[in-house]
Structure 1
Amino acid sequence: MTVIVGLLAAILLGGAMTAVGAAAAAGCRVDYTTPAQWPGGFTADVKVTNLGDPINGWQVAWTFPSGQRVTQAWNATTTTSGDRVVATAASYNAALATSATVSFGFNGSWTGSNAPPTAFTLNGVACTGQPGGSPSPTTSPTPSVTPSPSVTPRPTVTPRPTPTSVPLDAMATVAAMQPGWNLGNTLDAIPDETAWGNPLTTRELLRHVRSEGYNSIRIPVTWNGHFGPAPDHTIDPAWLARVEQIVDWSLDEGFYVMLNLHHDSWEWADSYPTDEAAVLARYRALWDQLATTFRDRSSRLVLESINEPQFTDTPDEQGDVFVQELNADFVERVRSTGGGNATRLLVLPTLHTSSEQPRLDALAETIEDLDDPNIAATVHFYGWWPFSVNIAGGTRYSSEVEQDLVSSFDRVTSTFVERDIPVVIGEWALLAWDHTRPGIIQRGEFLKYLEAVGYHARTRGLTTMVWDAGQFLDRSTLRWRDAGVHAMMRSSWTERSGTASSDQVYLPADGALTAASLTLNLNGTSFQGLRHGGEDLTRGTDYTLDGDVLALTASALSRLAGARQHGVNATVEARFSQGVPWEISIITADTPVLGAATGTTGSFAIPTQFRGDTLATMEARYDDGSNAGPASWTSYKEFWSSFRPDVDAGTILLTPEFFNEVRDGQVTLTFHFWSGEQVTYVITRSGTSVVGAPA
């Protein structure tokens, strides 16, 4: 679909957008195309040619005729007011000379029909495509607008068929890849596809992931163990055929596909500093074979040089140089095979796929030197480390977690996106969110993190590919392990959701109840009310709202808690003007009771009556007040690595890893629970023997 609209008008300039004067020549032409469309969504490309005097700072505006909405833009920032859209120049493309053309694009949503806009304005005036003219009489002052991410209705995300034509540049390609999903711990597993617990990949799995709204799939592959000796390093034909099969299935399902060398980075490539010739020969042999094999595949196949490059005993500054050498060699070898590889999008990582500024600067220099328009940068993001693994008291989505997220995304945006280099967050999640290790990350805090990652990536034009090693999607049943987690992640692709300071309200088992308060995080939404069991609760009687403080009344809590048995008694939903409702669990709990125990450093379990409460973290200190156990820089030990609660078994296990770094003598443990309760417990180690009792 293509629409060409001519603009004829006096162009408005200056901070207040006032007319330049009668002598200024003005006019422009707009070429609006939709190179790809699928049920519920589309990609649009907009080219604006300036037919008048040079301008510095532009806004292009139009009105959608069929209720469409912009969901993600590149090379411009979009704002909306109803059906009206205003696209504003980025810092790097604001200047527009006479006869020059600027391009920007976006992904959008639609329902019913997707008729193209019929008229555009440049800096507030309409046109016909000829130079000269006067302001359109229908032009009105630009209204106050709200960023589209906070007002855009959530589209219905459905599988997208193969586009009839591909996006026209690297920025558009990467934008069309949003959102993405990793086939983790599968072809990258050592030594084979099922070695790390996932079943064989099926086409049904890929079709299901596609139907859930994912537009791209990253297929990590560890080639080590699947190729022969020097000098040819021939890839095992059966292994290569299996990789080809999964790549082809994915392309057939309509995915963009990103293929790489994965754990090879630490299995053999990390010896590059001391064995450069051998590593380079192997690296080149693999990419020669892979580039030749996939040369004629769809341009929706994207190649990534190597995952998380790292080098043994090498300072980061020197590691940057080694990554530059490998990345440049990769680009040269793939491009030299011709065919589709001559223009295929190639993805280059930083050292460790880190978003630290020196690592980003080194990759930016590499990309500038390559002078190749079809290059994207990639980093990984697993959040602020104490929160990602629950150590050092990092139990909540705190201001430190938020700042780490914003700073990381701002750095990659300013280093790459603002220079017209697209960015793929090739992996993201939290390191310790895992169904096999429950309790490390509190669910509500994780939901806040998911919501924020989606928002901050979307508003910066970053494409995200969630790392899923089986902790999100159960590949045997093709069901999400936690439907609410997936709902929050999916909602974040297009809109914000409201959250709160907690998703838990704790009540005692006995005694009178009082009102309980939570602070709402509106995130640009408006609070609509509370629901329980499909029915609305009554404002004023069941709850009150004072600013952003939501209080459940004592009478409502008494009704919801019922007999007040230990555990979750009820769940209410806080509903907002958009996004996913925030679930609040009404929990009855009493102070946990820990019993005396005798054991060894290899096996020590504390009998525990949790009484409806949940363990958040544990501190460990010697009698002199110094920190005990691993990571002695903090008193708060790492959840699971040092201690593991088991509610069903009624125990808290102290691990051998914890005792490996505890000296003989007395250690005071403080267990922090999510209700706010703290329980102190004392252990005494003598050799391999350990005894413990409540303080």
Structure 2
Amino acid sequence: MTRRLARLLPRRRRSSRPPRRLAALLLAIALLPLLPATARAADPPPPSAPAARSAVAAMQPGWNMGNTYDAIPDETSWGNPPVTRELLRKVKSQGFKSIRLPVTWGIHQGGAPGYTIDPAWMAKVRQVVDWALDEDLYVLLNMHHDSWMWVNNLATDHDAVLARYEATWTQIAAEFRDRPSKLVLESINEPTFSGTSGDEENYRLLAELNRAFHRIVRESGGRNADRLLVLPTLYTNSEQGRLDALAAELTELRDPMVATTIHFYGWWPFSVNIAGYTRFDATSEQDLTAQFDRVYNTFVARGIPVVVGEYALLAYDHNRPGIIERGEQRKYFEFLGNYARERRLTTMLWDAGQFLNRTTLQWRDPELFAQIRSSWTTRSGTASSDLVFLPKSEAITSRTLTLNPNGTDFQGLRHGTRTLVKGRDYTVSGNQLTLTAGGLTTLAGDRAYGVNATLEARFSRGVPWRIDVITSDTPVLSNATGDTGGLTIPTRFRGDMLATMESRYDDGSNAGPADWTPFQQWDTSFTAYTPDSIKLTSAFLDSLKDGSRVTLTFHFWSGAEVAYHVTRTGTTVTGTPA
């Protein structure tokens, strides 16, 4: 992943792109129509060999051993325990056919001219590769955070960077030249370059690196002579210009044992919860299908296999629940898995420890992983929401959700071991599922704040859709005093959950670091991880005009909205209910 996201996971790196690639640039890329491609292959690239296509297909699905051998300075530095063979066995047992092994080499190298890789580090990498191969897993081995640590200086320090890159890959190629063909090599992770004149120079530099990688590996002999090699687009993204530039490279190489790779983390505003994009909606779907369609049309339709070398959601992390609502996560992964299958893309889940607990070897959210695993082979039914709120201060009335069968047939509802009765507990009209007042009254029980009951909507295939029945009332926020270092707002959530925060000055203009939208970014401007408070960050408070009053509107998943005033005077900040 890219360095622009490092702030999303305190004390843990998930990234590799320089921080100057700011959120505003990402949003501009996401929101604006794509510009015409400037780099196009004069001739279409030749199709890859059947062996290359079958190997990439056999790698589906894949799993990333993230934040481990790519961690700086060592494998345990970013929160994961040392790798064990049991971990590889667990990954294999869960249905994965391949692992991607991100490795940062540069911090384990000597100086010029040899740039010798530390033998102990090479031995660690070799051991994991061999363990995985022994488990009959494909292994995609790469050069990872080197991309932003030193390779990015290729334009300004060309000869020294190229010499180091070539020396590094010469050693890697020699070390693994005799490993089975299930070992696959990737030239560079998320390539980026500093000090260039723009994309055309970036494309030229990446092509130079990829040619050097290709030459070194092929000339090293052994099984490297026809080993499958994976080449990335610039930044490993799927804008059409990036894809066309890589297609031009393939036309020049004319190597039948080459595949391509991109990364995908979803529609950016949804994946980090900014600008009010709290749901996996039509915009997010269209972004996904457009990117996968471009990759398909540029490569797969021409017989060139594609590996989505990393996918997840940018802000998904088990330590910070709530940024992306649970049901919306599930809809995203369900849709992604299905569309990747339709477009014949091999996907590799980016897991930096937020999905699989590598200490206990248990999934942190088994229900979410079940959704991901199911998407590899079939579709699952979902619904417009997985949350049904019943205001505690009001009489219980019926509630309606829209079912999204996704080609399945709705089979009914269960509560634990009890099958709910159609006509009494719920009704179905077309795709409208209505939970009756009587059925909800039984499920709500004593109507304590929070989740009173969890239902399963079952479909003819795939995994059930979870529906939480929740008793809530409008949250209550209290007075608060702090400074620009942070403000903690005492909050009684009363069963509800925060969705997002809107922020405006008294004149109606947007307030906050993301001044292009009134809806600020979770974690950057605010958090809500504790059961008794909402916190405003120093980044948000520092961005406010001195002497200004800001009206915050907190939007909750029940639909409730609560207004709150924040005033900054010098470094002092006060908050009061509106």
The TM-score, its normalising length taken from structure 2, stands at 0.91
Partners of 2:558 and 2:536 in 1: CA distance: 22
| Residue in 1 that maps onto 2:19 | none
Q: 2:116 aligns with which of 234, 238, 252?
A: 234
| Residue in 2 that maps onto 1:197 | 79
Percent identity over paired residues = 62
Q: CA deviation at 1:209?
A: 0.6
Q: 1:691 aligns with which of 571, 574, 577?
A: 574
Q: CA deviation at 1:550?
A: 0.4
| Residue in 2 that maps onto 1:459 | 342
Q: CA deviation at 1:511?
A: 2.9
1:82-481 paired onto structure 2 within 5 Å: 169-314=51-196, 315-481=198-364
**Count of matched residue pairs:** 531
Partners of 1:296 and 1:692 in 2: CA distance: 65
Pair 1:587-2:470 in alignment: yes
Q: 2:521 aligns with which of 638, 657, 662?
A: 638
| Residue in 2 that maps onto 1:529 | 412
Q: CA deviation at 1:394?
A: 1.2
Partners of 2:478 and 2:394 in 1: CA distance: 25
Partners of 1:495 and 1:196 in 2: CA distance: 35
Code of the residue aligned with 2:575 in structure 1: it is: G
| Residue in 2 that maps onto 1:508 | 391
Partners of 1:228 and 1:538 in 2: CA distance: 70
Partners of 1:569 and 1:647 in 2: CA distance: 20
| 3-state DSSP of counterpart to 2:397 | coil
Task: Report if aligned partners of 2:386, 2:465 keep a CA contact under 8 Å in 1.
Answer: yes
Code of the residue aligned with 1:474 in structure 2: it is: N
Code of the residue aligned with 2:183 in structure 1: it is: L
Q: CA deviation at 1:640?
A: 1.3
Partners of 2:340 and 2:351 in 1: CA distance: 18
Partners of 1:305 and 1:511 in 2: CA distance: 61
| 3-state DSSP of counterpart to 1:631 | coil
1:582-661 paired onto structure 2 within 5 Å: 582-648=465-531, 650-661=532-543
| 3-state DSSP of counterpart to 1:646 | coil
Deviates more, 1:638-647 or 1:455-464: 638-647
Code of the residue aligned with 1:618 in structure 2: it is: M
Code of the residue aligned with 2:536 in structure 1: it is: L
The RMSD of aligned alpha carbons is 1.2
Partners of 1:361 and 1:632 in 2: CA distance: 34
Code of the residue aligned with 1:423 in structure 2: it is: V
| 3-state DSSP of counterpart to 1:660 | helix
1:569-597 deviation line (CA, Å, top 9, x unaligned): 00111000000000100000000000011
1:519-545 deviation line (CA, Å, top 9, x unaligned): 011101010111111121111111111
Task: Report if aligned partners of 2:320, 2:529 keep a CA contact under 8 Å in 1.
Answer: no
Q: CA deviation at 1:168?
A: 5.2
Task: Report if aligned partners of 1:437, 1:640 keep a CA contact under 8 Å in 2.
Answer: no
Q: CA deviation at 1:510?
A: 3.0
Task: Report if aligned partners of 1:610, 1:647 keep a CA contact under 8 Å in 2.
Answer: no
Pair 1:671-2:576 in alignment: no
Q: CA deviation at 1:459?
A: 1.1
Q: Name whichever structure is richer in helix by fraction.
A: 2
Structure with the larger RCO, 1 or 2 (CA within 8 Å, 6+ apart): 2
TM superposition outliers: structure 1 runs of 4+ over 4 Å: none
Task: Report if aligned partners of 1:182, 1:218 keep a CA contact under 8 Å in 2.
Answer: yes
Code of the residue aligned with 1:250 in structure 2: it is: A
Q: CA deviation at 1:329?
A: 1.1
Q: 2:452 aligns with which of 566, 569, 582?
A: 569
Deviates more, 1:531-540 or 1:574-583: 531-540
Task: Report if aligned partners of 1:505, 1:584 keep a CA contact under 8 Å in 2.
Answer: yes
Q: Structure 1: which 5+ runs fail to align? A: 1-91, 93-102, 105-166
Q: Structure 2: which 5+ runs fail to align? A: 1-43
Partners of 1:663 and 1:247 in 2: CA distance: 54
Partners of 1:692 and 1:510 in 2: CA distance: 27
Partners of 2:394 and 2:552 in 1: CA distance: 30
Q: 1:538 aligns with which of 421, 436, 450?
A: 421
| 3-state DSSP of counterpart to 2:207 | helix
Task: Report if aligned partners of 1:594, 1:607 keep a CA contact under 8 Å in 2.
Answer: yes
Q: CA deviation at 1:368?
A: 1.3
Partners of 2:195 and 2:313 in 1: CA distance: 27
Q: CA deviation at 1:418?
A: 0.7
| 3-state DSSP of counterpart to 2:184 | strand
Q: CA deviation at 1:318?
A: 1.8
Partners of 2:262 and 2:152 in 1: CA distance: 18
Q: CA deviation at 1:513?
A: 1.2
Code of the residue aligned with 1:286 in structure 2: it is: T
| 3-state DSSP of counterpart to 1:209 | helix
Task: Report if aligned partners of 2:498, 2:528 keep a CA contact under 8 Å in 1.
Answer: yes
| 3-state DSSP of counterpart to 1:641 | coil
| 3-state DSSP of counterpart to 2:106 | coil
Code of the residue aligned with 1:608 in structure 2: it is: T
| Residue in 1 that maps onto 2:38 | none
| Residue in 2 that maps onto 1:42 | none
1:633-679 deviation line (CA, Å, top 9, x unaligned): 0010000111011333x111100111221111101100000000000
| 3-state DSSP of counterpart to 1:290 | helix
Larger Rg computed on CA atoms? 1
Partners of 1:168 and 1:506 in 2: CA distance: 53
Partners of 2:411 and 2:320 in 1: CA distance: 35
Partners of 1:432 and 1:584 in 2: CA distance: 23
